[in-house]
Structure 1
Amino acid sequence: MSQDVQHCSFVLVADFDIDRGAQLTYQFPQPLGTDEGLLANLMLPDGAERQPTDWTVFFLNQTPFNTIKPPLAIDSNERSSADDEGSQMLYGINLVRTKLDKTARRGAIVKAMAIVTRYPFVQIFKPVLLLALDDYFMNPSQDCLARLFDAVNAMDLSNMPNLTRYEKIIMRNTERQDVMIGRSFEDYTYPDPGTAVQHPTNHSARPGHRSTNSGDSRVSFEDGVLMRGKKERDGNARNGGGESYKSASGMRSPTSPSEASFSLDGSAVWVGDESGLDQMGFVATASAASASSTSVSSVAGRGRRSTDASSSSSHGAYGRGGEGTQSLAGASVASAALKDSHFYHTAINYNEHLLPVKVPLSTFPEEVGEGSLTMLCTTFSPAITTMTGPLHPHLHTNGALTPPVIVLYNALITGKRIIFLGHHKLAENVSNHVLAACALGSGCGVVLRGFIKRAFPYATLINREEWETIPGYIAGVTNPIFETAGSWDLLCDIGTNRMVVSKDIHVNHPASWSSSHPLISRTGTLKAESSIGSEEDAVRVQTKEGGSMQKPELAGRPDSADNLFIEDVLGAIASHYSEAHVRAKFTEYVLRFVRIAGRYEEDVLGSTSISWPTASYTERPGEKPRLGSGAYFADETTCARDLAVNASRIEAWRRTECYKLFQADWKHVVATNPIQGFDLPHQLSRLRFAKSMSDGEAELIFRTIAENLRTYDQVTELLAWLPPHLHGLQPLSFGLFHQQEAVRELAVDLFNELRAYPIGVQFLQALNHFQRYAYVRQAHAKEQRLRDANSLSIPHSAFMSRSPSNRSESSLGGGG
């Protein structure tokens, strides 16, 4: 990231005056040019005087009524940049504090301070805000804002890596603290791991408090982080580098990973001299570097060394210059091994206080702040949540048994108006639920987008008429008057664990799926198995008391896919699985939904613009066999049931802005993906779930994947579709046990290619002993056959320079 990019665009301070109410006291370095009363009320939430500390999050440049117009941003280039729709969003993190003071008229002083930034990970600024607001209480002057502004903008992010989309997905799906350790800490040397790092900054060389550049302040997080990466890619292209590796860890290793970097509970697969790893610090720190004890080298921790005579090289996991030479890069990796590579570690030097900062590296723009899906699922778990209001086909995909979180998800993707109410709750709690809902609907930012643009983490009565006009708004409030107003479709009360569907939802959002739809006739025989599938199913019977009761068929099925999914998620939460694991499950859920939507469009419209066309594997005489594509279903019955269950919410989703954004995203992904020409997720689903598969299809799948695995970007795309919660490389490992020798050899070649990259080695480490031994044995046998044949020389490449050995005790599973 360029050091010229400002991390902090504005610093704001608001005070509560007993006569005038909330007042915006300071705006630094210049006025924002927007409604000051609105900003002040966002920074001083209702009931702030009753809470010692509270936090809120707000957005700017989100809608016309909160778009900023700094008076000094007069340059035409800046204005054109500000008009760029994709780079407008600014995020504010606000701290409000109440201090008792007997000299004050109400016995307390309430002040708030906010940092406005282009980064969605606003939580990194919480520690410095705490210090700065304390400083402001003691010395309420603009100097405090200037010190905070300078300190945040002096934070060094110049060496923060810009991960690709698939690198981010890999990182967020694993809890290994050494994932991509060389990639994440490239060109950066750390001192004592227990000490925060702050590079000396030449403040005299920095410009003064120049006017906030409107173009700078409105550059999106993605644009800012990728700015440096673009320069690197351009430099690689000029140097003739056709591949997008930008660090030693991204490049193919000159030699294969060694025993210390590929072991599992003491059972190593690789053999050779580990002196290189000793010097890089891996042997001493590998155990501390990984959060998953099952994938960390305990062999290295005990200092075990292999003595396989077949290997004579002495290179470390990321390459080493020569025997007895300790490289600077090795020292960097060794120090970084003690840190979690999911974060970029830097520091903010505020008022002679060095504050460590951990910047998350795998954040997507739809993930703002600290919204937790674990918290959201716990708050609205079926066991404690009360559901009231009419059933609606857009929301209740399993009738009355639809889990509350699924009702919320359906409301999010179908553009319903949603309010999170937290009466007598902290505004921080309400804000976090709104931000978690945005992560829920978007698949944690990996799949869909457009939710943050209509989210108001904390909303007030001041501009209620304005934010209520935003289609499908997602708002957090603490005032119960919003419930009685009734201008919402779904109310989520986090204080009483209630979820209420508006009584007027059928008037505001009539079900548009008629009973004459072609899918009805095809799925009519599945009525007993499916739930709400048409407008007819949504009809309610009036009672004598004027209320309504459910039709018998709307009772739902307790074993529906959505119910089983939520039970699985809640079981993981009860077992203390991490937030990252929960997010990975919801990402998979949303991915599945959009692929089903693609199949639905094909059946209804004849084609789809959001997915691969549906096709099955074909093999005809005289023609080349063709791989299948599209959403995978175990059988036609499952396909028909899933389409019927999802039809109503798919139809509603197709009318939203979120759908249009996904259409554009899909077109871009298909054009720019490293792996081109075939539907990779479909092939992996076939390997995971197919009950039977012809030898020809199996061979073509493995051959196609192996032929499209030649660059680092292609490797990361493949691994991104093989997350640990779906058992990692297990689907590909099935090829090692196939009855056809050609398939087995292709599987070995594929694993050999993965072995050439450090990130591939980490995935290979997760294979179980049986799978790993099968790979070692077959790879060694293949190399031996090549030697015996003596018909061609062994290529001098990474995966041939030192093959896995099946002769060491540890590789046979005897170590440990």
Structure 2
Amino acid sequence: METLMAEVNAQRPPAPAPAPAPAPAPAPSPAPPAGLQRQPSFSSFPPSRSPSSSVRNDPRKARSPHPPMLPERDDIDEAASSSRTSAHSHKLGPAMARLRSQYPADAVERHVEYILVASFDIDRGSVMENQYPAAISGDETTLAELMLPDQVHSRAQDWTIFFLHKDTTTEEEEKEARRERRRKRRRRKQGQHADQADGDDEHHAYDNTDGSDDTDGSDEEHDADGPPLVYVLNLVNTKQDNTVKRGAVVKAMAICTRHSFLHIYKPLLLLALEEYFRHPVIETLASLYNALNAMDLSLMPKLSSLESFVLHAGDAKDMFIEKFEQMIRQRKAADAERTSLSSTDSQPKRIAYSLPRDTHEFESKIYYNGIPVPVKIPSALSPESVGDYSLIKLIQTFSTPHSTQPQPFALHPHLTTSGAYTHPIIVLVNALLTQKRIIFIGHNRPSSEVAEAVLAACTLASGGVLRGFVRHAFPYTDLTKVDDLLKVPGFIAGVTNPTFSFKPEWWDVLCDLPTGRMKISNRIESASPTEGSLYFQQHGIPVSGAGSQMSSDSKGGVDSTGDNQFMETLLQSIANRHGETAIRAKWRSWVLKFTRIAAAFEETVYGASALYIGSHETDAGAYGVSGHGYVWPDDHSRLRELAANDLARQWKKKPVRALDLHHQHDKLRCLKLSHDQSAAIYLALARCVEEAGSPNASASGSEADLPSAAQHLTFANDPERRPSEKLQYEAILQLLCVIPESNTGLFYLSLGLFHPRQDVRMGVVKLLERIMDHPAGRYFWGSLGRFAKLAFFRVKREEGGPPK
């Protein structure tokens, strides 16, 4: 026993060695956007690269005035780096491939597109005072009004956020050219050689622009709704001055950026606006513009969507530290190459690069007027996540009045899915999912509060899974924009003017921030019976969850959807101070469950669903097991919950197409399986992961037992996806996304170590070994219980192999 305990302790992941924060180096710019497919909400303006010779005489020279160098050292923290690298040099993943930067230093795009200044004139109203580097086409008055919110004169300072849609024709042409070079390079790798001379030129052009990296471009996400939005962060200050009319000067400064993490610019805006009050000249804007675009993010690796999810879901501060180490090695190799090609005889200055203290954030500095301002950029961005906000604050705002003095809602099938006393947060999410018009009102509150509530609501309904909410969001608007607002279906808007509360025809759900109450409009469009509700009624199943009278007469009505229980668990987590990350993880699980139930609903009612892609592949039994979608304990529970969820959204493909990992794991978690049934699932998971890395590997015997229609779906027989370390790396990532640490982790997989069949126990051991060897999986292994680890080493000894 002592020997086994020693082996278990030896498997604990090493504690992350402290490393100094990275310092800035040559600055990058954000990646180019996709093509525009939607009309601008308030203005459309040309690319900032357009004509202004006085602005950008030499853009490269202005981008890195302060490179990240520490002259006393020329290496990474060798003790920490070498020990970590040697300890995990066998980890899976494309370690030798060249990594891409999230924001390359030589990218065309800049961090900040425009700097705007607006002011309030007693005679002319809101006016645009200055713009840099060029004037924005469109209605400048509208922009100025957005920058100067209602009742701003009553507050010394306020923040607003709004979005713009930009004309990106020129940028799209450049991006399409890069994509074409990437496609041709991919065809050459597959043996489909084009003309050799053209191929060499294209290869050279590609290498100069994109570099050789660990992705072939397939992981790039394209937004079907149009190009990335331009996010505008605006600061407005009121300075008391008895020498001017009305005794105050009101000015606002805004930053237009493609970065959804625009909150990092707040300290810079505070400094710059104060400077502008002292020196209201265009040079003040130019200084800020150049400083922001000199920020260096080139050592920030580009993470895939699966890597981003695993990083979000975990708390380990050195998750994927290997990628940051590799980025530094690549930079040092490039520096060495430039030095060797230099003709100067002088000794070059040695530059040190340091690893991040927490890989969830990339640290850099922005030098403005000689002041180094530290900034922290999220390494993994979640879809529909814009700015800095708190889900906990939003949930508590509307939960507290409901728990102390609940008030019934007017019934609506789409919103009150648990009856008249449905929790307000569930009403809000249902309204977002069914594209209702939602207004957050904060009378006598700063506009920043309503903006944060709107952004938090978008993330709440998205859960990092669904998209499209931000494109319908107006974090702040006013009465002058009502006509434009009402043209947008399913908008989510923030206002401070109380007039909106007296116009129920303008909204479907009103969320009052000061009182913490929600109201369903009496002018909301009524919901006609759907094919789904008719289907369940014909089968004798009462549709009790969809806002019916059955659950409206009491506060403890039937909870067909399980939402009331979920909210109780969520509020308990908040009361126990589990933190923002844990709450977001729980909401992601809720949205993911909703999406899977929506897909099952469509399959039950219509016979098929566009929400679940590849169901025919997962049902073919490629690895000896079949099935897809959400798992219920019995058919009655399935039909009862489906009847209460007549909602639907979108879904997307995953790297492992022949096996629904979530479905199979849910079977292990929810159902009482026979030994043969559980054995089939354990062996399928083990074989799937093993075959992803080796075409000849087999964790569960011969393929002869599989149906002929299913054999071609396995990794070993799939011509589109050749087994490789990279494919195995991604397959394990997908499995880790199904079992986040905030949920059950490896617990249900580890139960296979106690299976009566030896081949199953050995298959689970091999699967866990590969997870242990994975850069992210080792943290899941570290959080596994000691009892399971003892079983792991016991099975290893039964096999006769030495423990790892």
Aligned partner of 1:422 in structure 2 is 442
Counterparts of 2:557 and 2:633 in 1: how far apart (Å)?
22
**Offset of 1:779 from its aligned partner?**
2.2
Aligned partner of 2:768 in structure 1 is 751
Aligned partner of 1:251 in structure 2 is none
Counterparts of 2:454 and 2:620 in 1: how far apart (Å)?
50
**Offset of 1:514 from its aligned partner?**
6.6
Aligned partner of 1:57 in structure 2 is 161
Aligned partner of 2:523 in structure 1 is 504
Letter of the aligned partner of 2:528 in structure 1? A
Aligned partner of 1:767 in structure 2 is 784
Counterparts of 1:782 and 1:734 in 2: how far apart (Å)?
18
Out of 534, 546, 564, the residue aligned to residue 532 of structure 1 is 546
RMSD: 3.2
Matched, 1:702 2:682: yes
Letter of the aligned partner of 2:755 in structure 1? H
Q: Kindly provide the CA deviation profile for residues 404-443 of structure 1, in whole angstroms up to 9, marking residues without a partner as x.
A: 0000000001010000000000111000000011011111
Aligned partner of 1:256 in structure 2 is none
Matched, 1:683 2:664: yes
Aligned partner of 2:630 in structure 1 is 631
Out of 703, 706, 729, the residue aligned to residue 746 of structure 2 is 729
Counterparts of 1:369 and 1:490 in 2: how far apart (Å)?
24
Match of 1:24, SS state, is strand
Q: How many residues align structurally?
A: 599
**Offset of 1:34 from its aligned partner?**
1.8
| Pair 1:183–1:780, CA change in 2 (3 A) | farther
Counterparts of 1:602 and 1:187 in 2: how far apart (Å)?
45
Aligned partner of 1:111 in structure 2 is 251
**Offset of 1:102 from its aligned partner?**
2.6
**Offset of 1:766 from its aligned partner?**
0.3
Out of 469, 473, 485, the residue aligned to residue 451 of structure 1 is 469
Q: Kindly provide the CA deviation profile for residues 209-229 of structure 1, in whole angstroms up to 9, marking residues without a partner as x.
A: xxxxxxxxxxxxxxxxxxxxx
Counterparts of 1:646 and 1:481 in 2: how far apart (Å)?
34
Aligned partner of 2:718 in structure 1 is none
| Pair 1:515–1:598, CA change in 2 (3 A) | closer
Counterparts of 2:560 and 2:225 in 1: how far apart (Å)?
44
**Offset of 1:552 from its aligned partner?**
4.3
Higher mean C-alpha deviation, range 180-189 or range 431-440:
180-189
**Offset of 1:371 from its aligned partner?**
2.6
Counterparts of 2:735 and 2:785 in 1: how far apart (Å)?
20
Aligned partner of 2:673 in structure 1 is 693
Aligned partner of 2:576 in structure 1 is 575
Letter of the aligned partner of 1:706 in structure 2? A
Counterparts of 2:557 and 2:299 in 1: how far apart (Å)?
53
Matched, 1:404 2:508: no
Higher mean C-alpha deviation, range 381-390 or range 168-177:
381-390
Match of 1:419, SS state, is strand
| Pair 1:514–1:554, CA change in 2 (3 A) | farther
Q: Kindly provide the CA deviation profile for residues 632-691 of structure 1, in whole angstroms up to 9, marking residues without a partner as x.
A: 1111221122111112xx1xx4xxxxx3xx2xx52xx2xxx322211110011112222x
Counterparts of 1:722 and 1:492 in 2: how far apart (Å)?
35
Superposition pairs for residues 140-219 of structure 1, below 5 Å? 140-188=280-328
Aligned partner of 2:557 in structure 1 is 556
1:154·1:348 contact (CA, 8 Å) conserved in 2? yes
Counterparts of 2:500 and 2:518 in 1: how far apart (Å)?
14
Aligned partner of 1:40 in structure 2 is 144
Q: Kindly provide the CA deviation profile for residues 381-413 of structure 1, in whole angstroms up to 9, marking residues without a partner as x.
A: 032576565210100000012100000000001
| Pair 1:588–1:118, CA change in 2 (3 A) | same
**Offset of 1:719 from its aligned partner?**
0.9
Aligned partner of 1:377 in structure 2 is 395
1:398·1:554 contact (CA, 8 Å) conserved in 2? no
Matched, 1:642 2:638: no
Q: Kindly provide the CA deviation profile for residues 717-757 of structure 1, in whole angstroms up to 9, marking residues without a partner as x.
A: 11111111212111111111112212111110001111222
Q: Kindly provide the CA deviation profile for residues 757-783 of structure 1, in whole angstroms up to 9, marking residues without a partner as x.
A: 232211100011111111122224324
Matched, 1:435 2:455: yes
| Pair 1:515–1:745, CA change in 2 (3 A) | closer
Match of 1:54, SS state, is strand
Letter of the aligned partner of 2:149 in structure 1? P
Match of 1:572, SS state, is helix
Aligned partner of 1:341 in structure 2 is 359
Counterparts of 1:344 and 1:523 in 2: how far apart (Å)?
56
Aligned partner of 2:91 in structure 1 is none
Counterparts of 1:561 and 1:76 in 2: how far apart (Å)?
45
Q: Kindly provide the CA deviation profile for residues 220-246 of structure 1, in whole angstroms up to 9, marking residues without a partner as x.
A: xxxxxxxxxxxxxxxxxxxxxxxxxxx
Match of 2:497, SS state, is coil
Matched, 1:464 2:465: no
Match of 1:26, SS state, is strand
**Offset of 1:187 from its aligned partner?**
2.5
Structure 1 unpaired stretches of 5+: 62-66, 191-198, 200-327, 540-549, 654-658, 785-801, 805-816
Aligned partner of 2:278 in structure 1 is 138
Matched, 1:803 2:765: no
Letter of the aligned partner of 1:394 in structure 2? H
Percent identity, aligned pairs only, is: 38
2:623·2:684 contact (CA, 8 Å) conserved in 1? no
Counterparts of 1:150 and 1:625 in 2: how far apart (Å)?
59
Match of 1:726, SS state, is coil
1:581·1:725 contact (CA, 8 Å) conserved in 2? yes
Counterparts of 2:611 and 2:533 in 1: how far apart (Å)?
25
1:15·1:25 contact (CA, 8 Å) conserved in 2? yes
2:417·2:561 contact (CA, 8 Å) conserved in 1? no
Letter of the aligned partner of 2:782 in structure 1? Q
Aligned partner of 1:480 in structure 2 is 498
Aligned partner of 2:185 in structure 1 is none
2:618·2:660 contact (CA, 8 Å) conserved in 1? no
Out of 359, 367, 373, the residue aligned to residue 355 of structure 1 is 373
Letter of the aligned partner of 1:351 in structure 2? N
Letter of the aligned partner of 1:750 in structure 2? L
Counterparts of 1:521 and 1:164 in 2: how far apart (Å)?
45
Letter of the aligned partner of 1:779 in structure 2? K
Letter of the aligned partner of 1:756 in structure 2? D
1:615·1:628 contact (CA, 8 Å) conserved in 2? no
**Offset of 1:121 from its aligned partner?**
0.9
Match of 1:728, SS state, is coil
2:750·2:788 contact (CA, 8 Å) conserved in 1? yes
Counterparts of 1:515 and 1:747 in 2: how far apart (Å)?
41
**Offset of 1:696 from its aligned partner?**
2.4
Aligned partner of 1:606 in structure 2 is 607
Aligned partner of 1:291 in structure 2 is none
Structure 2 unpaired stretches of 5+: 1-102, 178-221, 336-349, 694-727
Counterparts of 1:484 and 1:635 in 2: how far apart (Å)?
48
Matched, 1:6 2:7: no
**Offset of 1:365 from its aligned partner?**
3.6
Letter of the aligned partner of 2:779 in structure 1? Q
Counterparts of 1:75 and 1:376 in 2: how far apart (Å)?
37
Letter of the aligned partner of 1:485 in structure 2? K
Matched, 1:91 2:199: no
Q: Kindly provide the CA deviation profile for residues 603-639 of structure 1, in whole angstroms up to 9, marking residues without a partner as x.
A: 111111112688999999xx99432222111112211
| Pair 1:551–1:586, CA change in 2 (3 A) | closer
Structure 2 length as normaliser, TM-score?
0.70
**Offset of 1:18 from its aligned partner?**
1.8
| Pair 1:384–1:437, CA change in 2 (3 A) | farther
Counterparts of 1:153 and 1:133 in 2: how far apart (Å)?
18
Counterparts of 1:615 and 1:75 in 2: how far apart (Å)?
39
1:91·1:118 contact (CA, 8 Å) conserved in 2? yes
Out of 16, 27, 39, the residue aligned to residue 131 of structure 2 is 27
1:161·1:185 contact (CA, 8 Å) conserved in 2? no
